[in-house]
Amino acid sequence: MAKDKDKKKSSSSKSSSKSSSSKSSSSKSSSSKSSSSSKSSSSSKSSSSKPSSSSSVAATTPKKDKPTSSSSAAAPAAATSKKESVLGKSIGYEDMTLMENMTLDGVLQNLEDRYVEDLIYTYTSTILVAINPYKRLPIYTSKHVRAYKGTRLGKIPPHIFAIAETAYNGMVQHELNQSVLVSGESGAGKTESTKLILQFLSARTERTSNIEQMVLASVPVLESMGNAKTGRNDNSSRFGKLIKIQFDEDYYIIGSSMSSYLLEKSRLIFQSQGERNFHIFYQMTNGMTKEEKAKYSLGPAENYRYINMSGCYDVKGVDETEALTEFREALALFDVSPDLEDQMFRVLASVLHLGNISYKEKADGSEIEGAESQKQVDIICEMMGLDKDSLKFALTHREIKMRTELINKPLTAEQALDQTNALAKYLYSVLFDWLVHQLNVCTVAEDFKAFIGVLDIFGFEVFELNTFEQFLINFANEKLQQFFNHQIFKLEQAIYEEEKIDWTVIEFKDNQETLDLIEKKRPPGILPILDEESRFPRASDDTLIAKLHDNFDKKHDGYAKPRLARHKFVLTHFAGAVDYDVVGWLDKNKDELPANLTKVITSATNMFVAILYSPDDEMPESNLGRQRRERNRSKKEGGSAAAAKSTKLDLSAGGPGRGGKGAGKAGGSGSSGASKETLGSQFKNQLQSLMDLLGKTEPFFIRCVKPNPQKIPNNFDRKLIYDQLLYAGMLETIRIRRMGYPIRYTHTDFFKRFRVICPEVSPSGDPKKLANKLAVALKLDLPMQCQIGLTKVFLKQEVANELEDRRNHALTHIIKLVQVWWRMVSARGHFCESKASALLLQQYQRMIIPHRTFRQAYTRSRVLQRWWRMVLAKKKLAEIREIKRKEEEARRKKEEEERKKRIAKLGKERVEKEEALKAKLAEEADAKEAEKIRRLLAGLDEEEEPEVEEKKEKKKKKKKKDTRLTRTGSIMMGRNEVVEVPINVDGKIIVGLGWKGKQFAMDASCLMFRYKQHKDDVYKFKPRSKDGAVVHKVGWTGGLGLISTIEGSDIHQIDVNLRKLTDKVNTLVFVVTLFTPGANFSEIQDSYVRLIDSNSSKEYCRYTIEASGKETAKIMCKLFRYGYTAWRLKAIGHPSQGRLYKHMISKVNAFLDPLPPKRSFKVTVHSASILDINKRRIVVTGCSSFAEVRFDLAKHKTRVAKKTNAPSFEQTFSVSGHDTNIEITLYTRKGFSKISYLARAVVPVDDVQSGKEMTYNWEDEETAQCGGSVVVTIVTTK
């Protein structure tokens, strides 16, 4: 390829190399002489094992580009630059900007010296050159991750980890998005370099989470579906990708997103000798078990035309079974259930079977040939749920739309085969886009602070037959080369000119002319001419090549017409001349699938196929369509501001092309009257969006180099590497990096950062003078090592590294002094605490001995006092007993005398009768008194009967029936009835839907809205919402593990965690759609919807929907917020039309609340009272509580009022948003983390009396834990 280089570049590089070598020789002649002996010894050792640099390069390069003999003699690595590293030996120059021999031969010799010692990485300032070793090296371990973490670039040997660490530090310190551009030929190691960067970024945070695992797990998924073996690489990426690693405020990985570019669909139907199709097909045919192959009707790889045409079935060192297992394990991480995985393999197997269909000519067209082809059609229809007759007809006919009718034109056998190939490419590309979309859904973060983008895009390609795909790939490489030139040459030198520093302009080869030839609109380039021809109905390959020759042959230096080739033209790229064959370019550029084939696929009975290949642009949205809209939006918002910068790169080349809305998939039908955008225009716009994104980041470049075409280790092909370095502009890059000043600071930042080295410099004065004064104090060599511009200070890389080391040393010294002082303060504090403790202990000891003596004396005196009181009490008791004995004796004597007198007067017999009667009455009185005591002990009234008491007790225990909804009962709802859902306990419920007639194919979908704005959705093939709050159990588990009740089991169940649901969603609408062709809801009986407690399986409520007409969908019910901590269910049961969930998005608008106007308030929470909810009394023990004010998406918390039943807050919050209610919620806090819900008050905004202090009672709800009220003042501000 070196022979095709531009002559101007050769002459300029030659002159620049001469001037550079003369300067280096004059300035460093003494050092060259002193090191010549050591260099000659090393070169003599290497010459015995490999040819010398001068002979090999002279034999393979043009004379104009050949370096001089004097420069090549000084090519071996200098011994003076060698050093020992903590991570291994150091050979040659680790940074090629420090080389003395500034020629490509010197660069080549330095790279070879390092490569033979397995040192594959070399710096060119901040640009990394990586040579593919074609073997595993032990330099990517956790030890190396720790070594490069926190280490500046250039302090330890070159490594790809150092570039990743520098990008990470740039993101943290500069607060800018970063990008790493990995470029090089196919087989140079771009894909492996990308994987290593992802590995380092995932490992450096030292935090293992599911996101880091998913970022790394996406690699085997994409490699299986998008990589293939080519003649240059066993694992070549056949698509481009930009992976954005997203970081949070603490710079931890929280997500990632990937954009894909130009999948090589033509590889699906054709491979050259020694190449393979995409890896996934060989993993299926060679890695699946016999049972799985039988399930998908698969045989050996040799049986399928799409993968047997090249005769290559294996890759050395690759186990297809193990690769398939890794692919499946990775899919499981991305929420791809076994059911979805089975559907994927069905589509992939159908693609293989499509390749085995053959056709034969007949009188009026063509037909499928032979029983074997008929069998392949039967298998495809069974796999994808297609109608066999419709598919056969669609494959052999093309539908042509006339003004008033559709005409089915029969196709020849060759045209039918082309149409079958187009169908296979369409099926595979849409499945690939869906898989990329699935990866992004699971890993993307909605809110992130910054990202690091890693671009792994196809390298420059030259094959024996170069088609439209190679043209677009090389166009992308031209764009990236221009971006590299802009960042390294144009932007660098423009800044030097603006700052008015001493600088000599370096010439370089600009490829803008080649880009204008490809994409410019006026005069039209190759792509505009191709688009114009694609719109003509009678255009052909002959008319296309003729128009290209007429416009460019002998009119443009980069375009040439071959003499013998009929359909070819030659285009000179930055990497060399490439001849392109235009056969088939028009069909590839149109990128269309016939409408009749699209209808057959979308009418499939297989739900996965019907939804995935639906022509509607909404499902799934492709990366291209999304990026196109983002680019248009960014242009509208900030296009003029961006264009005002004088140094910004202009890569637009005429702006976006014409056409209607971008097609996310081939075959997608646009609106009537709008032309479909061609593949070339799509790729050009997609590439321009990429350039715009990279232009807003801080880029780092990794130049991957392929050492030999045989892909064997320790083989350094000097000619091949020489060509790669030449067209990459490596010599000019080294020269500008060596002569330039890559490190820049503003005057103020320079002074603030490095004044710590020289604190004696006064901080007063003009910033430029201060920077100059500090540079002199630092003893910097002006202007060789440092230059001071109008607004910035420019430093050489090595000088900046030295200053950083000196700054770190100064900071370390200051930190040590602070640590010494702090250790003194800490020791003195400990001493003072110990002294205070000792004094306190001494005081206690002096107090405890007298106290112990006193306690002993006190105890003895108490004992003595008790004994003496006992003696006095015994004496007094004896006296009282004696007095009582005498009184009793006198009483008995008196009674005896009176009895004798009565006997004498009345007689003895009468007196005895009276005494017996008195004894009997006394006995009855004692019995009544005992009964009275017994009843009192039993808790009975004295006069009530036991039966009356039992009735009274039963009446007291009767309770009033609770009419509110509870977890133990179920409510039968009527149409449009609304019930409150008590979900505040755990927030988890299940929505169950069922009907009779399970033979119908139906899907239950959950549509999520913020008022009338559609936010998210969940259905069988997208079974999980973005926030993970709503999960479709059928799609999630792949089976019917449902909750059953007495009345039967549900057919669909959807788990809803309302507490986990994002605040941006306030309405969930549940829709059932019918997929069975020709069926409607008049055939389905007893459909219902119900709410179930996920913990106890108890039913909340049920709504039975009556049978209706011939609609194909039903809007069952909706869950909507009432305030923020409560939800309500509304039964709907409205019939509708549509077979896909997306058809229903516009039809449910009638049941959604309109977006309220935006309002703003100032809410002051004064105080609250807390009462027990059961007895409405003040709680005896106070509790710590706080209030939360919520309005729309805004929420604010007051401070915590501790241990009180009348908390006072007195805090004011400003809230704004779209809502109808303001909610004040009361919580109690126990400890540091336990927070419990107490009650809430809902204030309608229409009832707000602005500026007036109002008292609102807590809502009397089942979930309320207390009663009371809250005092607030609400002021309307807008």
Indicate which residues carry an active-site annotation: 186-187, 191, 233, 236-237, 459, 461
Neighbours of 1193 (CB within 10 A): 14
Q: Which two tokens stand for residue 88?
A: 């291994």
Q: Are 1185 and 1238 in contact (CB under 8 A)?
A: yes
Closest CA to 611 of 394, 343, 389: 343
Q: Where are the alpha helices (DSSP H) in 939-1030?
A: 946-957
Q: Which two tokens stand for residue 630?
A: 């983002």
Distance CA 1183, CA 1274 (A): 26
433-460 residues labelled b (16+ CB within 10 A) or e (exposed): bbbbbbbbbbbbbeebebbbbbbbbbbb
Q: Which two tokens stand for residue 890?
A: 């006198």
End-to-end CA distance of the chain: give it in Å, rounded.
Answer: 70
Closest CA to 721 of 737, 733, 703, 745: 703
Query: What dihedral do alpha carbons 834, 840, 841, 846 form, nearest 10°?
Result: 150
Q: Which two tokens stand for residue 381?
A: 């229809």
Q: Where are the alpha helices (DSSP H) in 74-176?
A: 104-115, 142-148, 160-174
Closest CA to 244 of 229, 260, 231, 255: 255
| Burial bucket for residue 768 (CB in 10 Å: 0-12, 13-18, 19+) | middle
Q: Which two tokens stand for residue 408?
A: 């089915």
Quick one: DSSP state of residue 1178? B
Distance CA 50, CA 39 (A): 16
Q: Are 519 and 654 in contact (CB under 8 A)?
A: yes
Length of the chain: 1278
Question: From residue 1277, how far is each of 1213, 1252, 1253, 1270 by CA, in Å?
Answer: 12, 14, 16, 22
Q: Which two tokens stand for residue 820?
A: 């010494």
Q: Is the dihedral of CA 780, 783, 789, 794 positive or negative?
A: negative
The number of angstroms, rounded, from the C-alpha of 1126 to the middle of its chain's C-alpha atoms is 30
CA angle in degrees (0–180, nearest 5) for 1073-1079-1081: 60
User: Residue 376 contacts by C-beta under 8 Å, 6 or more apart in sequence?
Assistant: 353, 354, 356, 357
Closest CA to 1166 of 1277, 1274, 1276, 1273: 1273
Distance CA 1067, CA 1054 (A): 15
Quick one: DSSP state of residue 95? B
* SS3 at position 1269: strand
Q: Are 1073 and 1113 in contact (CB under 8 A)?
A: yes
Q: Which two tokens stand for residue 765?
A: 């004065």
Q: Which residue has the tokens 């040939």?
A: 369
Distance CA 728, CA 378 (A): 53
Q: What are the φ/ψ torsions at residue 330 (nearest 5 degrees)?
A: -65, -40
Distance CA 1080, CA 25 (A): 89
Angle between helix 679-695 and helix 623-643 axes, rounded to 10 deg: 50
Neighbours of 1149 (CB within 10 A): 11
Distance CA 104, CA 734 (A): 10
